[in-house]
Amino acid sequence: MGSVLMVSLKKQKNFYGSRVKILSPAKVNLYFNVTGTYPSTSPFAGYHHIESIIERISLCDEIEITVTKAQGVKIISNKKSLENRDNLCVKAASLLAQKRKLPFGFIVTLTKRIPMGSGLGGGSSNAASTLLGLNALLGLRLSLKELYALGACLGSDVNFFLSQSQFAYVQGRGEQVTPFNAKPLHHVIVWPAVNLSTKAVYQNTRVKLTKFLSNANIIKYALKKGDISLLKQNLFNALEESALSLCGQLRKAKVCFDKKGIFCRMTGSGSALYTISRKLETARFGSMHPKHWLVVSVKTF
């Protein structure tokens, strides 16, 4: 099937009833800087210009898509609040059907494990995996360039997931992706069960007009060499202070881990934190957090 994301693929002769099951992984931002905003004359007006180093991790949603005779896209999920037209699986399948003039519809079943509003990229990943799954299932043979064009219409992180890379440096709104190879990492993800408004976090952030490309290059070097000490010294998220000031629960979690000497950073616009660890273990966190928090061990995927 050609991809570590693909779980199963079953094609029917006329496509109706054909089915694909695909993983939809989360991500963490090892470096995240906001370098400005697009001018009002730009087609991206209102968006921020960012640069980031992103890692794909082993926490995954699962998506199953079935081809139907009925037009349109039906979404079924274990999270009922996601069963609507704004779901990025629906938007991705609808966009592809429109662009390629596909003569059938789809039933998309989304099993959600990545917490929403956590900065772990679940929605963007869902959109990307939907496109990848349909491309394989329908034999569309869309090139990566064609997939990127669709992804740019759907969300800032979609193209990273479409690249199917473990690590990448991204720019622009996040749609410009440069994959690179590096040694795998282990993390513990800690999500204090609170959602943050991305818009509010950005509005509360002081935009840095100076690029920190040297920092990004040091992080890439540390990743390639497996130098955890150097990596920890240079991990950076320009949105972290803003998010901590807006969310008492997140600040409480960060302070708790800092006091215990556990290194952690926030991913994306929050509200999940991640550690850098050589071992996959959550036992150390057992007595440090309320039971409703998500604490999960993951690795580079």
Q: How far apart are CA 272 and CA 279, in angstroms?
A: 19
Is 86 known to be catalytic?
no
Structure tokens of 267? 């991913």
Paired tokens of 272: 């999940």
Bridge partner list, 31: 53, 236
Q: Which of 166, 167, 155 is nearest to 130 (CA)?
A: 155
**β-strands 273-275, 264-266: how paired?**
antiparallel
Q: How many residues does the chain have?
A: 301
What's the token pair of residue 169?
């440096």
Cα–Cα distances (Å) from 272 to 22, 115, 121, 184, in that order, read: 24, 9, 11, 20
- Torsion angle, alpha carbons of 235, 239, 241, 244, to 10: -110
Residue 99 tokens read as: 């662009």
Classify 90 as helix, strand or coil: helix
Question: Do 279 and 186 touch, CB atoms closer than 8 A?
Answer: yes
Task: Decide: residue 14, CB within 10 A, 0-12 exposed, 13-18 middle, 19+ buried.
Answer: exposed
Joined tokens for residue 217: 């290059």
**3-class DSSP assignment, residue 139:** coil
Residue of 27, 91, 220, 254 with catalytic role: 27
Select from 197, 124, 200, 184 the least CA-distant residue to 155: 124
Is 74 catalytic? The answer is no
Q: Which of 21, 91, 157, 254 is catalytic?
A: 157
Active site members: 27, 157
